[in-house]
Amino acid sequence: MYGHDKARPGAADWGNYRTAENLKLELMNIPSIVFLTVLGVCVLLVLVIWSIRRHVNPKLRVESETSIKDLVPSLAGLTLSTPVHGNSVEVLENGAFFDLLIERIGAARHTVHFETFLWKDGVLGRRVAQALCAQARAGKTVRVMLDATGSKKVGKEVVQQMRDAGCRVEFFHKRSIYTIGILNDRDHRKIVVIDGREAFVGGHCVVDEWLGNAEDGKHYADISVRLHGPIVHTIQAAFSENWVGETGNLFVGDDVFPRLEPAGDVLIHAAYAKPESSAPAVKILHHSVICLARKKIWIQNPYFIPEIDAIKAFAAAVERGVDVRVMMPSTSGSDNPMVQHAGHRNFELLLKSGVRLFEYPHTLLHQKVMTVDGIWSAVGSTNFDDRSFDTNDEITLGICDAGVAEKLDAIFEKYVARCNEIKLEEWQKRGLWHKLKDNAFYLLNEVL
């Protein structure tokens, strides 16, 4: 029985009640539906962008009994380049590189083209900016290409100073709706071209840690090369690629592409192209020479994270009798210990295959160098990891010259004398926490 103050609900009242409750539940579900829809769209966009930007990995099955010296035309052709005769090469180390570079910028008669990934405000950055500004004020054409991510700490005052002086300063892949699909693609090249006649390529960054002579843990070691001869046209072409891509501005004439006479007897080819839906040239180059080596492969690289195919290629090289050695900074010497831990993940495979691994604990060894068979050398901006091989814009020079290889090997021996060589038995005993970090950071190896 119902109380006198309440009426018994009729069928219509129950129907209205249920309708109201259903409407309430539907309204409550709308945020979940919207969230799931947005999430689905985001996942779809990520998949679309990934499918557009991905590159096909080359199969590492290059076999030849021919000397790598005689295979330079093949290496150049495979990497969308051409071998260029008649060049000179000067190997430059550590802070002395910038002493010469700033001097040569000051000697420019017509044009200075400057491209780099990492530029931080500091003593070195202001020295370089002042040299560029002086030339721009003197009426020279100065073009500066900085990566928007790597050079985000260049300093607004420094950029404005250069622009006020007349330098044209551009940033590669600034964050915007128009670059959402390529924000992860960075310009990692380090290139300077003066008057179209002289070029510098290597690993040096415009940061105070690159000053000095790697004499302590605060200053880094690095290698770049100074070039004269017809190869300078190729380096200028590499600079123009991203300059045109960001500005639409084409430059022509003798001030940028002069007629170049032979300046030496060194044969050089350059790898920098990154075609869509194919393996980038720097990846093909590095992996091919591993397969073609017959005597030795000595690598100096700050970020060494080889994939399984490369590890197999190293193992096959050792089986052929090749002396394979890799020198890199330790976690204590690195500017990014996560990268070193990611590389550690596959150390055991490398050690079991006979590759010798050396870690330098005293400072960052930033040089990106590989010598093969005492005759061919790779020098440039490319790290031995997937970010450099598949994502970044890079440049690596293939230099066929025994004298250059000898100088680079001497630098290897200078630093390896203070390295710790990793031994398999000791490595297998490293702690669980070390192993966990190795495997965890390896999951991020493509974006580190």
pLDDT digits (tens, 9 = 90+) for 267-276: 999 999 988 7
pLDDT confidence bin for 245, thresholds 50/70/90: very high
Residue type, 198: E
pLDDT at 168 over 70: yes
Residue in the block written with tokens 């300063």 = 169
All residues at 6 or more sequence positions from 243 whose CB lies less than 8 Å from its CB, including other chains: 113, 115, 143, 145, 170, 249, 251
From the list 364, 360, 401, the residue with the least C-alpha distance to 383 is: 364
Burial 100-130 (b: 16+ CB within 10 A, else e): ebbebbeebebbbbbbbbbbbbbebbbbbbb
| CATH code (residue 377) | 3.30.870.10
Domain that residue 428 falls in = 58-442
Say what the pLDDT of residue 85 is.
98
Work out the average pLDDT over 26-55.
63
Work out the average pLDDT over 212-230.
94
* Structural element, H or E, at residue 421: strand 420-422
167 within 8 A of 132, measured Cβ to Cβ: yes
pLDDT at 340 over 50: yes
Say what the pLDDT of residue 361 is.
95
Say what the pLDDT of residue 2 is.
41
% of the chain with per-residue pLDDT over 90? 71
- From the number of C-beta atoms within 10 Å of its C-beta (0-12, 13-18, 19+), residue 315 rates as middle
pLDDT at 239 over 50: yes
Say what the pLDDT of residue 112 is.
98
Q: Cβ of 375: how many Cβ atoms within 10 Å?
A: 19
Residue 37 lies in a domain: no
Residue 18 lies in a domain: no
% of the chain with per-residue pLDDT over 70? 86
pLDDT for 124-161, tens place per residue? 999 999 999 999 999 999 999 999 999 999 999 999 99
Residue type, 29: N
pLDDT for 389-399, tens place per residue? 989 999 999 99
Least reliable range by pLDDT among 35-44, 339-348, 410-419: 35-44
Say what the pLDDT of residue 429 is.
87
Say what the pLDDT of residue 53 is.
53
From the list 300, 309, 442, the residue with the least C-alpha distance to 384 is: 300
Say what the pLDDT of residue 123 is.
98
pLDDT at 51 over 70: no
More confident residue, 342 or 61: 342
Residue 309 lies in a domain: yes
Say what the pLDDT of residue 186 is.
93
pLDDT at 13 over 60: no
Least reliable range by pLDDT among 55-59, 219-223, 278-282, 311-315: 55-59
Residue 19 lies in a domain: no
pLDDT at 8 over 60: no
Work out the average pLDDT over 99-109.
98
Say what the pLDDT of residue 92 is.
98
pLDDT confidence bin for 228, thresholds 50/70/90: very high
Residue 270 lies in a domain: yes
Residue 48 lies in a domain: no
pLDDT at 431 over 80: yes
pLDDT for 257-300, tens place per residue? 999 999 999 999 999 998 877 889 999 999 999 999 999 999 99
More confident residue, 182 or 351: 351
337 within 8 A of 364, measured Cβ to Cβ: no
Say what the pLDDT of residue 22 is.
60
pLDDT for 71-91, tens place per residue? 999 999 999 999 999 999 999
Say what the pLDDT of residue 6 is.
46
Say what the pLDDT of residue 336 is.
84
- From the number of C-beta atoms within 10 Å of its C-beta (0-12, 13-18, 19+), residue 91 rates as buried
**Mean pLDDT for the chain overall:** 89
pLDDT at 26 over 80: no
Tell me the torsion sign for CA atoms 79, 81, 85, 88: negative
Work out the average pLDDT over 316-332.
96
* Structural element, H or E, at residue 165: helix 156-165
pLDDT at 50 over 80: no
In the chain, the number of structural domains is 1
pLDDT confidence bin for 342, thresholds 50/70/90: confident
165 within 8 A of 133, measured Cβ to Cβ: yes
Residue 38 lies in a domain: no
More confident residue, 32 or 55: 32
Residue 275 lies in a domain: yes
All residues at 6 or more sequence positions from 218 whose CB lies less than 8 Å from its CB, including other chains: 209, 212, 363
All residues at 6 or more sequence positions from 342 whose CB lies less than 8 Å from its CB, including other chains: 305, 438, 441, 442, 444, 445, 448
Q: What size, in residues, is the chain?
A: 448
Helix (H, G, I), strand (E, B) or coil at 405: helix
Active site residues: 188, 190, 195, 366, 368, 373
pLDDT at 23 over 60: no
192 within 8 A of 199, measured Cβ to Cβ: yes
Q: Cβ of 266: how many Cβ atoms within 10 Å?
A: 21
